[in-house]
Amino acid sequence: MPRPRFSPVLRVRDPRLRRRGLAIGIDIGGTKVAAGVVDAEGHVLRHARRATPGAEPREVERVIVELVGELSSDHRIASVGIGAAGWMDLDGGTVLFSPHLAWRNEPLRDNLERLLRRRVHLANDADAAAWAEWRFGAGQQEQRLVCITLGTGIGGAMVLSGRLERGRYGVAGEFGHQILVPGGHRCECGNRGCWEQYASGNALGREARELARANSPVAQELLRAAGGDPEAITGAVVTELARAGDPASRELLEDVGEWLGIGLANLAAALDPGTFVVGGGLCDAGELLLEPARRAFARHLTGRGFRPPARIVRAALGPEAGLIGAADLSRVSLRAHGAVRLG
């Protein structure tokens, strides 16, 4: 496969960048803020972590400043990248909306640059993870890459010809909210039948709990693992049991994998990528999830038999992908705009 064509902005292996130091990547989640010092090859040299301090924007900024101060104490840092769940404006300066935090039209980049006195790059967390997989992980050298993150819901991002594709308004990649089942399960977004209600960690846990509540004979191992409480069964519990060989858990994972493959076939019809990289916590199931997804994808792919199918592979960088990608994007931004010290 030919290597992607880089624009001048994306010549990220320029040796001048290495002389400017390392980058810090920060991944802001609903429960934790993970940070790391990342070199130009995508290696995390040092980690730090804090609990997410509620939803108040100023408190989140305070934690970010603490983490950058801690990680900067023994490294020369050139830039800081932030990955967070939410919609960013096209300029990358404002969080328009975040589902986990009280960010509504929040000028986060300007706030942090004023506090840190160094350049900050702000990105959607799925975009950051996709960039990391394209640069350093399972999607290297792919000209049309689609990344899917399976966790509580479904996140997504695209790297096309060496650039993140964010859409006209900066909110592309909300693949989890394509409607697969009209009138189906209610989604947190307000609609019914969204893909993430059938192919996410939450969906896996919900289906397992329904079996357990009915005291199904096939759910006894699930109940034992949850101490007899059906409400304690999560997608992670099902995944662990499936890996240990529990037939019911494997069947539940196969169902979720089939829905995953159907949704990927829809995306292939619209986007025609060369590779889907699938990451997130649900991918701990490995081939127990991905193999049924590949079968369903092949069965539902438009033009099957007369077109090359996209590869479907597991993400390589695990939970560090977001902070690695955020750090590397900040390095790219620094190269594009110059090392201007602020304040």
- Looking at residue 42, what is its pLDDT? 95
**pTM summary value:** 0.88
One CATH from 3.40.50.20, 3.30.420.40, 3.90.950.20, 3.10.20.30 for 8-132+320-337: 3.30.420.40
Give the C-alpha separation, 54 to 247, whole Å.
Answer: 39
User: 204: closest CA among 266, 243, 155, 153?
Assistant: 153
Same topology for domains 8-132+320-337 and 142-315, yes or no? yes
- Domain boundaries, given as residue ranges, for the chain: 8-132+320-337, 142-315
How is 184-236 classified by DSSP, letter by letter? -SB-TTS-BSBGGGTSSHHHHHHHHHHHHHTT-GGGHHHHHHTTT-GGG--HH
Please tell me the distance from the alpha carbon of residue 206 to that of residue 16, in angstroms, as a whole number.
51
Predicted confidence at residue 337, as pLDDT, reads 67
Q: Which superfamily does CATH assign the domain made up of 142-315 to?
A: ATPase, nucleotide binding domain (3.30.420.40)
For the chain (343 residues), the mean pLDDT of every run of 10, in chain order, is 33 43 89 93 95 85 95 91 89 84 89 93 94 97 96 93 91 93 93 96 96 94 95 96 97 98 97 97 95 98 94 96 96 71 32
pLDDT at 210: 96
